[in-house]
Structure 1
């Protein structure tokens, strides 16, 4: 038996327009339309998609109190310095990886931990 998957991940958000600003404008993800009528917003990231789902009270289980620990959402990026400049220009909190590897950690508008890694 062969199983093929449609890869995507979902993040719960309370304010869709604020989250669209963060993921689209700050992180620079490409918005895509889904053929089915799923609520929320979809972004293309390489071979997968990110689905922002609106929830009145997003689960804080997606975010860790200690940055860089699970659970968090990780994205690979080409230019870490450019991303650092974008995050700082948008007044987003940012922390470099404590291990010294090329990675940044930030939080989206709902407090979900986002890892941006050059590895």
Structure 2
């Protein structure tokens, strides 16, 4: 047996409208039309998907608030990190640059889920 592919990541969110604003409008992810039996949205990134699932009252708590990369997170790649940073900041989303020296930043969605974005 060999695991050959990562298919999706499920993310809990408390407010679907605010989550769609962040993942769809700010990050520009492509929404996948699905007939879901629960409130949520799916986004396609190449062969990979992000599944947003509504959980009322959900709020992620950082175990390491000083270094966001040392918390549970998932990572996305971009060909224009400075553009993503500008869009995040203009939308009022926090940005913390990677302390490793890589061209990467960390941000948080409305519910505090941490997302790493790296220049590729």
| TM value normalised by structure 2 | 0.86
> Aligned residue for 1:93?
94
Distance apart, 1:70 and its partner CA: 3.4
- Are 1:68 and 2:38 an aligned pair? no
2-side partners of 1:105 and 1:6: how far apart?
21
> Aligned residue for 2:50?
50
Distance apart, 1:114 and its partner CA: 0.8
Q: What is the total number of aligned residue pairs between the two structures?
A: 118
Cα 1:76–1:38 change in 2 (3 A) is farther
Distance apart, 1:4 and its partner CA: 6.2
Structure 2 residue runs without a partner (length 5+): none
| TM value normalised by structure 1 | 0.86
Cα 1:6–1:33 change in 2 (3 A) is farther
Structure 1 residue runs without a partner (length 5+): none
